Amino acid sequence: MTSKSLCFKLMREDLKRRMWTIALTVLGFVFTLLVPVALKSSAYLDQIREETQWQTRQRMARQLVGLVGINGLVIAVLVAAAVVWAVSGFRYLHNSRQVDFYHSIPVKRHQLFIASYLNGILIPMAIYLAAHILAVALVLRTGIGSDILGTMWWKAMLLNMVYYSMMYTTSVIAMMMTGNLIIALLGTVVFWGYGPSVLSLTVLYKSQWFRTYYESAEHAQRWMRAISFSSPFASYMFAVEELSYDALRIWQAAGAVMVTVFLAVIAYGLYHIRSSEAAGKAMAFKRTESPIKHLIALPVGVVFGMFFYGIRSTLFWAVFGVLCGVALTCCIMEIIYHFDFRKLFANWIHLAACFAISLLLVAAGMYDWYGYDSWLPNAADVQSAAVVFRYDDGWVTYGDVKLENDAMGQESASWDYMDQTDYGFSHMELTDIYTVMELSKKGVEANKKSRSQKGDEWRWTGENCVVKFRLSNGKNAYRQYNIPAQELEPLKTAVHDSQEYKKGIYPILSQTGADTEGVYFQQYNRKQKVTLSGEDTAHLLTVYQKELEELTMDVRKKEIPVGTIQFRTRSLEEGIAVNEANGYGYRMEDRCYYPVYPSFVRTLEELEKAGVEMVGLDLDTVSDIRIRYYWYEHPDENGQEEGGQPAPMTYTDDFEEAAWEKGTDEGWTVTYDKKEDLERLIPALVFLDYKNMNRYYELETPYNAETFVTTSFAVSSDYRNKDGSLGGFQINMNLLSDQDIERFRLVRLEETQ
């Protein structure tokens, strides 16, 4: 009892000298929590009395709930308070006179530590707890019920209290390991930021030097998890993010408490063995100086080397960068350790060692001494693989509908996106290992040749593809390659034409008839609903899936779609219905459309049987074609641009029959409505929305020109121009003869260069 009574007396006496800290903490929470909540509550009540729109009140309610939930200003105050309370509690350790005074008091040292340490946790938490509960009461006073307020407020309160204790304890350790306040603050920054910085540098190192490195979702999650455990501050920020998605679990908070207890034991141990003579010195423990200096100098040297190499891409500048980084770090730390500028090179052996190690790390990445880029798995060890040709088929929609409730309990739907590569890796299983290995070998060879290129030029040469190897030992290996198009083409064709590839890249091939609620067909932005029974819908889906699986690269080089089809899933229909019911502006009606090629004969037949009206571009549906030419400068009468440069094309009197429409800003437009002209131009018309769904189709468009088509079939007014024409078309010059190109005065791009 005597010991407990003494501890309470020490805590009370400790608080007397820290009144300024208490006042500062109170002010911090008042102006970041109580005042904002009071202001928003008052404004919200005014909106209710004035009977403003429901959406406005809903937005203000969300803001109120957010203030007592994840409040960035409150988090900032807690982070600052963790440092301020650690400094105010153990500042005396950095002053020799105060140390002598405190240690001369007839009280055991561990009681002094416990009193100051507990005050730094209990008092700020009591202030924060009182402010938070009062803020919640102000929110409830507005009429916002507990059902809308939810559980976020107490989860956020618990999270802030737990992680404040962890950061505060880390700051206390920094105070124990140093003898100077400025050095202690720098030490706190190092403890909070060193782990995330080094791990992030590791990823940056791989991205810059390993040319075949690919950051998969699996790797990204692993790195994020490692970063979240690398420091108290990072752990706090990641926990806040998880809480914002309501994904934080109680065991995580319990784990943070256990880590805090472990750190508190370390802090007490350092306090116990710390000598009184450490006050005023940079570091309280001489043995820690060299390891800390090396741990900081090595990554700084690597970063400087990478930075200067990124500017000039030569070995000389990489060496220069490493030398600058290591020399600056080691010299500055020697000055800090000795408080003397004359000690710049007091330990040149350490400087030389750090320089050599950092340079070896940079050179190892530069010349691939690790063998990372030349690595290939043994074909016998590969169970299956996945290959994603990035930037191909970018029109495919990945993910699904996400339903959620806002702060007012209103349900809304949005699209939860998924990356194309991640989807392919999780759904594709190629069993043709030979083709994948040959593709990878081509990638390794191309990478060896590209190492002579400077900077990031190698990233933009060839076509990019990413490979995932599923190995027999249960591990996955990822590589990305940039391969010249001509070398890649036969292998790409073999992969593309396989059903395994298509099942891993087109989500519709995994869709079932039971999950399909509706079918829509669209041509030239003209949408039609396909009326079918459940069995007929499933049959149409099966027919389309079969023809999509049979689609080959050769067909795609020759054809572009004649329309697009959408098989709406139950979740998509539900999301559309929810947003239409509550007037939410997020539209999902135009997602998940797939191309219908002319070779999809069976699909087109089924659509016609279902009563779908097919339209095409011919003399019956096209009344005129307008080509509008844009120029950077208007050519003069002599065919010269301003400045005396030759104009891309000279206009002659032959165009008088075509009825030119000259304008000062919109260029020159020529209209073709004669039968002989339309017969030549219509077969070469390309609807760009369809072309964008097939990057393999060879298309050469006229230089600096845009095409408009006037059609007889009905199209939504949203897609028509003021003159009634339909935009989004181009002329494929590959489908015209040289005589026709001359006839219509079409200009090739190379002719303008």
pLDDT of residue 667: 61
pLDDT of residue 142: 85
**H or E segment at 594?**
strand 593-596
- Please answer whether residues 543 and 518 qualify as being in contact, where contact means their C-beta atoms are separated by less than 8 angstroms: no
Helices (H), 525-597: 534-549, 553-558, 570-582
563-569 and 622-629: which strand pairing?
A: unpaired
**H or E segment at 516?**
strand 516-523
Determine phi and psi for 308, rounding to 5 degrees: -70, -30
* Separation between Cα atoms, residue 709 and residue 697, nearest integer Å: 21
pLDDT of residue 453: 64
Q: Average pLDDT for residues 128-150, to the nearest whole number?
A: 86
Contacts 24+ apart (CB under 8 A), 294-297: 294/350, 294/353, 294/354, 295/194, 296/190, 296/194, 296/329, 296/333, 297/325, 297/326, 297/329, 297/330, 297/333, 297/350, 297/351, 297/354, 297/358
- Please answer whether residues 598 and 562 qualify as being in contact, where contact means their C-beta atoms are separated by less than 8 angstroms: yes
Per-residue CA distances from 654 to 84, 704, 745 (Å): 83, 20, 10
**Residue 701 DSSP code:** P
- Please answer whether residues 121 and 207 qualify as being in contact, where contact means their C-beta atoms are separated by less than 8 angstroms: no
pLDDT of residue 12: 84
- Please answer whether residues 310 and 126 qualify as being in contact, where contact means their C-beta atoms are separated by less than 8 angstroms: no
Residue bearing tokens 């256990």? 258
Q: Which residues of 547-580 are buried (b: 16+ CB within 10 A; e: fewer)?
A: bbbebeeebbeebbbbbbbbbbbebbeebbebbe
Residue 438 predicted with pLDDT over 80 = yes
Q: What are the pLDDT digits (tens) for 174-202?
A: 999 999 999 999 999 999 999 999 999 99
pLDDT band at 624 (very low <50, low <70, confident <90, very high): very high
- Residues in a beta bridge with 670: 627
Angle between helices 250-273 and 152-177 (to 10 degrees): 20
* Separation between Cα atoms, residue 58 and residue 53, nearest integer Å: 9
For the chain, the domains span 2-284, 300-366, 379-505, 507-609, 622-752
Sheet holding 463-471, edge to edge: 382-389, 463-471, 476-483
563-569 and 593-596: which strand pairing?
A: antiparallel
* Separation between Cα atoms, residue 622 and residue 632, nearest integer Å: 31
**H or E segment at 569?**
strand 563-569
∠ CA 144-149-152, nearest 5°, is 165
* Separation between Cα atoms, residue 622 and residue 674, nearest integer Å: 11
**H or E segment at 37?**
helix 35-50
pLDDT of residue 585: 63
pLDDT of residue 745: 81
Q: Which residues of 319-329 are buried (b: 16+ CB within 10 A; e: fewer)?
A: bbbbbbbbbeb
Judged on CB neighbours under 10 Å (0-12, 13-18, 19+), 736 is buried
216 vs 660 pLDDT, higher one: 216
* Separation between Cα atoms, residue 518 and residue 530, nearest integer Å: 8
The amino acid occupying position 12 is R
- Give the number of other Cβ atoms within 10 Å of residue 533's Cβ: 9
Residue 719 predicted with pLDDT over 50 = yes
Residues 6 or more apart in contact with residue 356 via CB below 8 angstroms? none
Q: What is the pTM of this model?
A: 0.81
Q: What are the pLDDT digits (tens) for 505-527?
A: 999 999 999 999 999 999 988 88
pLDDT band at 720 (very low <50, low <70, confident <90, very high): low
**H or E segment at 661?**
strand 661-662
* Separation between Cα atoms, residue 592 and residue 398, nearest integer Å: 8
Q: Which residues of 501-526 are buried (b: 16+ CB within 10 A; e: fewer)?
A: bbbbbbbbbebebeebbbbbbbbbbb
Q: Average pLDDT for residues 526-551, to the nearest whole number?
A: 93
The amino acid occupying position 211 is R
pLDDT of residue 633: 43
Q: What are the pLDDT digits (tens) for 97-112?
A: 888 887 777 777 778 8
Q: From 412, 407, 401, select the one nearest 580 (Cα to Cα).
A: 412
Token readout for 178 is 């140093």
Q: Average pLDDT for residues 372-393, to the nearest whole number?
A: 93
3-state secondary structure of 270: helix
∠ CA 611-613-614, nearest 5°, is 130
Q: What are the pLDDT digits (tens) for 30-84?
A: 999 999 999 988 888 887 777 666 666 677 877 888 899 899 999 999 999 999 9
* Separation between Cα atoms, residue 335 and residue 408, nearest integer Å: 58
pLDDT of residue 412: 80
3-state secondary structure of 746: coil
